[in-house]
Amino acid sequence: MIERIIEICDIEPVILYGVNNSNFDLIRQLFPQVKLIARGDLLKVIGEPSDVDFFTDRYYRFVEHYKRFGSLKSEDIVNLSDSDSHKSTAELQSDLDVLVYGNHGRIIRARTANQQLIVSEHLKNDMVFAIGPAGSGKTYTSIALAVRALRNKEVRRIILTRPAVEAGERLGFLPGDLKEKIDPYLQPLYDALNDMLPPRKLESYIEEGIVQIVPLAFMRGRTLDNAFVILDEAQNTTINQLKMFLTRMGRHSKFIITGDITQIDLPVSEKSGLVHAHKILANIAGISFVELDETDIVRHPLVIKIVKAYSKEREKAKDSKTKDKTKE
């Protein structure tokens, strides 16, 4: 038996429960295999793991239906609770692949084989490195996993971080206060969260410190317990910076480190912490490396062609250097 607490954040509790708990009483009848305890915006689900997972899936279907159609009637609950009889095995598997039901009924899932590998590896390991080109979904998939873990009460907070110095710019030379200087570097993380959490809920989470989006330098000296922590753009960390970050890991935490080793913005004399970590941590139990490629890119089709063109150019440059060394 397991216990899972679902936070009702994407639908008003009164809509889910119905007038005089009419919907909630119906849901209890439809799911006798689990025990349901409702307390405000928290719904406790108790039962066997497979039964709890099954109910959780149906709960998010209720939420998705409400977001799409603006209502949740008793007949909707019945239909959504027993709607798999006409589905194929592939369709059922597709339902299980859903990571998060985002805003406006958006279904967020791992769309490629390597994105799905990030999901499976994170279930087996507490620390996962996801390395791949721009647009391959490594960060988006990781943030979806973090949001799911928070909703399922598997962690108490989400911490997203990235180096605040990129493309040769220095914060000290930019206008504005610290927040105004930092936010542009962290905007991609805000964008992903805005897809997955209602605006008011996200704002509340940030104010309460449940969701923290901070530059890497702010990690020093912290111990990150009961947290889902994501380091983005890790290729732009130095060896010492990445070591500092990795050693912040506390108990009951998950770490995902993402980066693209073809887009290193560090000075030529500085070695990338991500490249170094790949060499020395690959064989440690509990740490997994997932490598994504052009086939995982989910942006405009031109992005795939652009990434391939730069990859070819980089390989040519490597071959040229090798030939020059051979001549010497």
Q: For residue range 289-323, list pLDDT tens digits in order.
A: 999 998 888 777 788 788 788 878 877 776 666 55
Percent of the chain with pLDDT over 90: 41
Domain for residue 327, yes or no?
A: no
Question: Are 156 and 69 in the same domain?
Answer: no
Instruction: Give, as one character, the DSSP assignment of residue 14.
Output: H
Mean pLDDT value of segment 212-235:
92
Question: Are 217 and 288 in the same domain?
Answer: yes
Domain for residue 61, yes or no?
A: yes
Alpha carbon 25 to its chain's center: 34
pLDDT band for position 170 (cuts 50, 70, 90): low
**C-alpha atoms less than 13 angstroms from C-alpha of 163 in its C-beta half-sphere:** 26
Predicted local distance difference test score (pLDDT) of residue 261: 92
Question: Are 51 and 154 in the same domain?
Answer: no
Backbone dihedral angles phi then psi of residue 251, each to the nearest 5 degrees = -75, 145
**C-alpha atoms less than 13 angstroms from C-alpha of 58 in its C-beta half-sphere:** 22
Question: Are 123 and 52 in the same domain?
Answer: no
Mean pLDDT value of segment 23-32:
91
Cα separation, 103 vs 148, in Å, equals 14
Question: Are 32 and 157 in the same domain?
Answer: no
Tokens linked to 97: 């692949």
Tokens linked to 186: 């962290």
Tokens 């970050």 map to which residue?
245
Q: For residue range 254-285, list pLDDT tens digits in order.
A: 999 999 998 898 888 899 999 999 999 999 99
Predicted local distance difference test score (pLDDT) of residue 50: 87
Rounded to two decimals, the pTM is: 0.70
Predicted local distance difference test score (pLDDT) of residue 322: 58
Q: What is the mean pLDDT of the chain?
A: 84
Domain for residue 106, yes or no?
A: no
Sign of the CA dihedral 112, 113, 118, 119? positive
Indicate whether 41 pLDDT > 70. Answer: yes
Indicate whether 106 pLDDT > 50. Answer: yes
CB atoms within 10 A of CB 85: 5
Question: Are 181 and 211 in the same domain?
Answer: yes
Question: Are 168 and 199 in the same domain?
Answer: yes
Indicate whether 88 pLDDT > 60. Answer: no
pLDDT band for position 117 (cuts 50, 70, 90): very high
Tokens 């066997």 map to which residue?
48
Tell me the three state secondary structure of residue 45: strand
List, in sequence order, every residue forming a beta bridge with 228; answer none if it has no partner: 158, 254
142 and 291 Cβ atoms separated by less than 8 Å? no
CB atoms within 10 A of CB 133: 22
Alpha carbon 217 to its chain's center: 21
Indicate whether 168 pLDDT > 60. Answer: no
Cα separation, 230 vs 142, in Å, equals 7
The highest-confidence range among 16-30, 117-131, 204-218, 296-310, by mean pLDDT, is: 117-131
Question: Are 91 and 117 in the same domain?
Answer: no
Give the closest residue to 64 by CA, choosing from 37, 92, 22, 104.
104
Domain count, the chain: 2
Tokens linked to 261: 């080793």
Question: Are 28 and 66 in the same domain?
Answer: yes
Predicted local distance difference test score (pLDDT) of residue 324: 59
Domain that holds residue 69: 2-96
**C-alpha atoms less than 13 angstroms from C-alpha of 36 in its C-beta half-sphere:** 23
Mean pLDDT value of segment 19-41:
90
Predicted local distance difference test score (pLDDT) of residue 46: 93
pLDDT band for position 60 (cuts 50, 70, 90): confident
Domain for residue 319, yes or no?
A: no
Q: At what angle do helices 138-151 and 178-196 cross, to 10 degrees?
A: 70
Tokens 């590998």 map to which residue?
117
Cα separation, 133 vs 306, in Å, equals 11
Cα separation, 218 vs 16, in Å, equals 40
What CATH number corresponds to the domain at position 115? Answer: 3.40.50.300
Domain for residue 315, yes or no?
A: no
Strands (E), the chain: 2-7, 35-39, 42-47, 98-101, 107-109, 127-131, 157-162, 211-215, 227-231, 254-259, 287-291
Question: Are 176 and 31 in the same domain?
Answer: no
Q: For residue range 171-188, list pLDDT tens digits in order.
A: 554 455 555 656 676 788
Question: Are 278 and 192 in the same domain?
Answer: yes
Indicate whether 162 pLDDT > 70. Answer: yes
Question: Are 76 and 49 in the same domain?
Answer: yes
